[in-house]
């Protein structure tokens, strides 16, 4: 028996619409709902948290100020210890710290309550569950597997978005819309100007696809490193051995001599979009997972630059890069099994559900955060949160070392409210990695903690604007700051 399906048209209205349920989006939705708004959260995947969860990015950088290493040896020592460091000032709290506390309570994050490490470790799989619980408790309505296909405009004012499938067409009307898509899709569709990639050539930083390798005998790996300390750096090896003995988080760096050997034998895979790699400039990182109250040293999680010179907003280019990265993950697992001690009986356990895109569109807002602002530790009168992360800019060619530049001044800078308001567009804010920042400054504010800070600020501002029946640019920013402070946001 056959039947035909009529396409249904309907309309939904909310105070606040958040498009994108990733790292900044879920926080924006929670903040808006807790401040009294009716909220709809749209997410194109089947889980919330984005790269924070399904992307397997297993740490939040930097809820504290982070120092910059002077050289590669110091870099390895410092980054190995960041995951267990409570040094320097904590500048990110509020919903982010609450989330970490909840993860700590169920043995899915390492550390201690009400304090975060410089690189806060957590279990990304359990994060999906904790995030959806926090969103539900706030009263947010969530639509998964949903992607906006058009925007609803009246002049320069965004009134909502259209969601369309073969089954139905839904118009979602909202007083305020927050674009947390990462790529700034809604803002771009609404006519907002944007910058893309490096000002030199328009190319973006390379992308990553986290992957996990199981069946690891990490004690054997560390024993090899101890026996070859001159190759790895004696202080780095000493630091890592000490952390492992204390059952603390550790970070391993590339086995460069093994890479040279594999390259000579044709066994080392080359990332998508480049022709070769330089072992001396490789700086990818490998970590064990903290799960069910302890570190699982038999499984390691790998984060490396895997795809270069493609446009993440182009579905064809993104597809090619994603397929290439999964292929590379399989080949990297084979490299480790064949060349790295302790991995002889290892296997590729799984790859992330979503690709880690470092940058694409940067929406031009009323103010663009600059490299100079970050280096100076700039304080803004309309600051909605502090951040102290290194400017982390990955080389676009794969030939140079990772650039890590420290925040100056107080060790933190303000993210100004103006950097969240797309120039010339009403009723719209952006949060996450697509906020208004130049190429270098975005290397800092693109990361997890900053995305959550901007998410909370936009959600709170949206709720206040709807309640007060004001345009976003008419909000009393000092009043917004007071609300954020009352909710333990550090201003």
What is the CATH code for 8-72+89-203+360-486?
A: 3.50.50.60
The reply to whether omega before 293 is within 30° of 0 (cis) is no
Contact 295, 287 (CB under 8 A): no
Joined together, the tokens standing for residue 314 give: 């182009």
pLDDT at site 222? 95
Main-chain dihedrals φ then ψ at residue 432, nearest 5 degrees: 95, -155
Please report how many Cα atoms fall inside a 13 Å half-sphere around the Cα of residue 115, on the Cβ side: 10
Beta bridge mates, 116 = none
Q: Distance between CA 336 and CA 486 in Å, rounded? A: 49
Cβ atoms of 175 and 157 closer than 8 Å: no
Q: What is the pLDDT along the chain (491 residues), one digit of tens a residue?
A: 456 677 889 999 999 999 999 999 999 999 999 999 999 999 999 999 999 999 999 999 889 987 777 666 676 777 777 888 898 889 999 999 999 999 999 999 999 999 999 899 999 999 999 999 999 999 999 999 999 999 999 999 999 999 998 889 999 999 999 999 999 999 999 999 999 999 989 999 999 999 999 999 999 999 999 999 999 999 999 999 999 999 999 899 999 999 999 999 999 999 999 999 999 888 889 999 889 999 999 999 999 999 999 999 999 999 999 999 999 999 999 999 999 999 999 999 999 999 999 999 999 999 999 999 999 999 999 999 999 888 888 887 776 666 678 888 889 999 999 999 999 999 999 999 999 999 999 999 999 999 999 999 999 999 999 999 999 999 999 999 999 999 999 99
Count Cα neighbours of 258 within 13 Å in the Cβ-side half-sphere.
19
- Hunting for tokens 């700039």 — which residue is that? 378
Packing angle, helices 234-245 and 72-82, rounded to 10: 10
| Tokens representing residue 431 in the block | 């949060």
SS3 137: helix
Distance CA(209)–CA(354), nearest Å, equals 7
Decide: 318 and 188 in contact? Cβ < 8 Å. no
Local structure of residue 426 (DSSP, 8 states): B
Beta strands in 20-156 (DSSP E): 39-42, 59-61, 119-121, 141-143, 148-154
What the block records as the tokens of 219 is 């004690």
Residue where the block lists tokens 């939040």: 60
What is the chain's Cα-based Rg?
22
Whether 67 and 44 have beta carbons less than 8 Å apart is answered as no
Q: Where does 63-184 have alpha helices with state H? A: 72-82, 94-105, 124-137
Neighbours of 120 (CB within 10 A): 29
pLDDT given for residue 393 in this prediction: 86
**Exposure string for 200-224, b = 16+ CB within 10 A, e = fewer:** eeebbbbbbbbbbbeebbbeebbeb
Task: State the burial class of residue 199 (Cβ atoms within 10 Å of its Cβ: 0-12, 13-18, 19+).
Answer: exposed
Nearest CA-CA partner of 6 in 175, 166, 242, 133: 166
Separation of alpha carbons 163 and 26, rounded Å: 19
On the 0-12 / 13-18 / 19+ scale of CB atoms within 10 A, 78 is: buried
Classify residue 70 as exposed, middle or buried by CB count within 10 Å of its CB (0-12, 13-18, 19+): exposed
CA-CA-CA-CA torsion sign (119, 121, 125, 126): negative
Nearest to 68 by CA among 402, 434, 460, 384: 402
pLDDT at 71: 66
Q: Please give the pLDDT value at position 70.
A: 66
> Cβ(368)–Cβ(69) under 8 Å?
no
| Residues carrying CATH 3.50.50.60, the chain | 8-72+89-203+360-486
Supply the pLDDT for residue 1.
46
Instruction: Tell me the C-alpha distance between 417 and 453, whole Å.
Output: 11
DSSP state, residue 150: E
Is residue 310 helix, strand or coil? coil
3-class secondary-structure state, position 153? strand
* Ramachandran category for residue 283: left, alpha or beta (phi over 0 → left; psi -120 to 50 → alpha): alpha
d(CA 159, CA 157): 6
- Classify residue 292 by its DSSP letter: T
Q: List, in sequence order, every residue forming a beta bridge with 272; answer none if it has no partner.
A: 307
- Contact predicate 365/436, CB 8 Å: yes
Q: How many CB atoms lie within 10 A of CB 438?
A: 18
Chain center to CA of 338: 32
Does the predicted TM-score (pTM) go above 0.75? Answer: yes
């Amino acid at each position: 028996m056959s039947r035909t399906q009529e396409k249904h048209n309907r309309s939904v209205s909310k105070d606040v619409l958040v498009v994108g349920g990733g790292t900044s989006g879920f926080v924006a939705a929670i903040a808006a709902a807790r401040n009294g708004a009716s909220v709809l959260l749209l997410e194109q995947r089947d889980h919330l948290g984005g790269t924070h969860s399904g992307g397997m990015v297993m740490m939040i950088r930097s809820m504290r100020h982070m120092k910059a290493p002077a050289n590669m040896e110091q870099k390895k020592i410092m980054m190995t210890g960041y995951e267990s460091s409570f040094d320097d000032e904590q500048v990110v709290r509020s919903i982010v710290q609450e989330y970490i506390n909840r993860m700590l309570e169920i043995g899915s994050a390492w550390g201690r309550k009400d304090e975060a490490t410089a690189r806060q470790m957590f279990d990304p799989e359990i994060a999906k569950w904790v995030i959806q619980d926090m969103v539900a408790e706030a009263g947010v309505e969530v639509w998964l597997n949903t992607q906006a296909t058009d925007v609803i405009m009246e002049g320069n004012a965004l009134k909502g978005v259209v969601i369309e499938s073969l089954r139905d067409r839904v118009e979602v009307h909202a007083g305020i819309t927050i674009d947390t898509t990462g790529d700034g899709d809604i803002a771009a569709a609404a006519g907002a100007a944007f910058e893309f990639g490096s000002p030199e050539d328009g190319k973006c930083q390379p992308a990553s696809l986290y992957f996990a390798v199981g069946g690891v005998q990490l004690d054997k790996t560390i024993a090899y490193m101890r026996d070859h300390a001159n190759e790895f750096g004696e202080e780095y090896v000493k630091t890592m051995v000490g952390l492992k003995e204390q059952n603390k988080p550790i970070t391993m760096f590339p086995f460069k001599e093994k890479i040279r050997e594999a390259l000579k034998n044709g066994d080392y895979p080359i990332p998508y979009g480049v022709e070769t790699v330089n072992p001396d400039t490789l700086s990818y990182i490998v970590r064990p997972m903290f799960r069910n109250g302890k570190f699982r040293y038999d499984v390691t999680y790998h984060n490396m630059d895997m795809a270069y010179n493609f446009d993440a907003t182009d579905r064809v280019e993104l597809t090619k890069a994603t397929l290439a990265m999964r292929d590379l993950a399989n080949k990297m697992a084979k490299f480790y099994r064949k060349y790295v001690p302790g991995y002889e009986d290892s296997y590729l356990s799984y790859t992330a559900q979503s690709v880690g895109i470092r940058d694409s569109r940067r929406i031009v807002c009323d103010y663009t955060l600059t490299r100079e602002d970050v280096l100076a530790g700039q304080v803004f009168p309309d600051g909605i949160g502090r951040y102290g992360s290194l400017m982390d800019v990955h080389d676009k060619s794969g030939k140079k070392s990772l650039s890590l530049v420290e925040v100056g001044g107080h060790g933190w800078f303000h993210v100004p409210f103006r950097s969240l308001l797309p120039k010339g567009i009403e009723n719209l804010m952006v949060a996450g990695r697509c906020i208004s920042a130049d190429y270098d400054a975005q290397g800092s504010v693109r990361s997890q903690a900053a995305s959550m800070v901007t998410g909370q600020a936009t959600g709170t501002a949206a709720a206040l604007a709807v309640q007060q029946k004001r345009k976003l640019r008419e909000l009393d920013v000092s009043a917004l700051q007071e609300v954020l402070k009352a909710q333990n946001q550090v201003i």
